[in-house]
Structure 1
């Protein structure tokens, strides 16, 4: 008989409205790289980037010299809540703290607007779990993706 197994840093469950059959999904290699960056290098030096919110496209972006280097897509739920969908960082800009800083700036902007978030992005969920000062931004009725509980 074995004891409980600690959940992996890659184990997440999605709510029914997440559209993930069975509520469980395998993360892509790109997603695991970003989770590893958040957990293993939380204070990586960030290069300076311009932070933009393209409300029409539903993307918070990071740009350098007019070139988009990262983005976090979202939907406006219309009830003072944003649904944070997915973050991406171009490969040549990974492991520089861009994902961490972009998520931080997005959540600071959400807080300044007095809104809450539903998290459908496991990278954003990982960030909030490791930065509890942002936990109050997660909508209690619609939290989104969560860490999978321990398995026996």
Structure 2
């Protein structure tokens, strides 16, 4: 979680984010391999439940989680969906980037603000 709070710089790697809708995961891909992921459950047609952000140890503390979360939330916004947050790392990201607060479903917010 420190990465999201303390590392506002761009990630050291230029990775691609792929939404594998069949598996229910956004994957960060670098050189044809997954380096991080953010699994989700679809809750109807208009909401995603974001479950847990993970970054492979070799790639931690380099801004990968921050950028993955940002791109996932940008994609959610582009689709006109909302999110329920079950991942404390995503919650911390939104706490520190209030421009994404509007994406949190008011009836199903998930992890409480400030929860760590």
- Place the TM-score, normalised by the shorter chain, in its bin: over 0.9
Consecutive unaligned residues in structure 2, runs of 5 or more: none
State the Cα distance separating 1:135 from its structure 2 match. 0.2
CA RMSD of the aligned region, Å? 1.3
In structure 1, distance between residues paired with 2:66 and 2:31: 20
Consecutive unaligned residues in structure 1, runs of 5 or more: 1-34
By relative contact order (CA 8 Å, sep 6+), the higher-ranking structure is 1
Q: Match of 1:104, SS?
A: helix
State the Cα distance separating 1:41 from its structure 2 match. 1.5
* CA offset digits 1:10-47 (Å, max 9, x no partner): xxxxxxxxxxxxxxxxxxxxxxxxx1111121225331
Aligned length: 115
**Larger Rg over CA atoms:** 1
- Aligned ranges for residues 1-152 of structure 1 at < 5 Å? 35-147=1-113
Q: Match of 2:12, SS?
A: coil
Q: TM-score, normalised by structure 2?
A: 0.94
Q: Match of 1:86, SS?
A: coil
